[in-house]
């Protein structure tokens, strides 16, 4: 029976392969770290999206009359002031 020929790397080929693989080690470590950050970001995004969608739906429900009514108040109620401050709708009397 004939023996199967096996390829055995030479010492030079093994050394060259080792040298070629060395730059990959830090890259592989960085890829693992990046994947952890990406997974965290995806989890945070999944948590935030329902609130964002609810806010968008609330804004879509507003109409011009709602905004005109709020602007007509000499001093809006405190909750309206807080929410309006976030959207930049109202400013202090000094213009800031």
Q: Provide the residue ranges of all domains of the chain, joining segments of one domain with +.
A: 32-87
Tell the residue number behind the tokens 């968008």, with chain if given: 56
Buried b (16+ CB within 10 A) or exposed e, 74-89: eebeeeeeeebeeeee
**Separation in Å, CA 40 to CA 29, 32, 36, 46, 85:** 17, 13, 6, 10, 30
**3-46, pLDDT tens digit by residue?**
665 666 788 888 888 888 888 888 888 999 999 999 999 999 99
Q: Distance (Å, rounded) from C-alpha 70 to C-alpha 76?
A: 7
**36-71, pLDDT tens digit by residue?**
999 999 999 999 999 999 988 988 888 888 888 878
Q: Distance (Å, rounded) from C-alpha 62 to C-alpha 84?
A: 13
Task: State the pTM of this model.
Answer: 0.48
């Amino acid at each position: 029976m004939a023996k199967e020929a096996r390829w055995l790397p030479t010492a030079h080929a093994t050394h060259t392969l080792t040298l070629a693989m060395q730059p990959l080690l830090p890259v592989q470590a960085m890829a693992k770290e990046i994947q952890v950050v990406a997974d965290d970001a995806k989890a945070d995004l999944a948590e935030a999206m329902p609130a964002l969608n609810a806010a968008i739906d609330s804004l879509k429900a507003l109409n011009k009359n709602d905004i005109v009514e709020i602007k007509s108040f000499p001093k809006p109620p405190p909750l309206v002031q807080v929410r309006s401050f976030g959207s930049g709708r109202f400013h202090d009397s000094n213009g800031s």
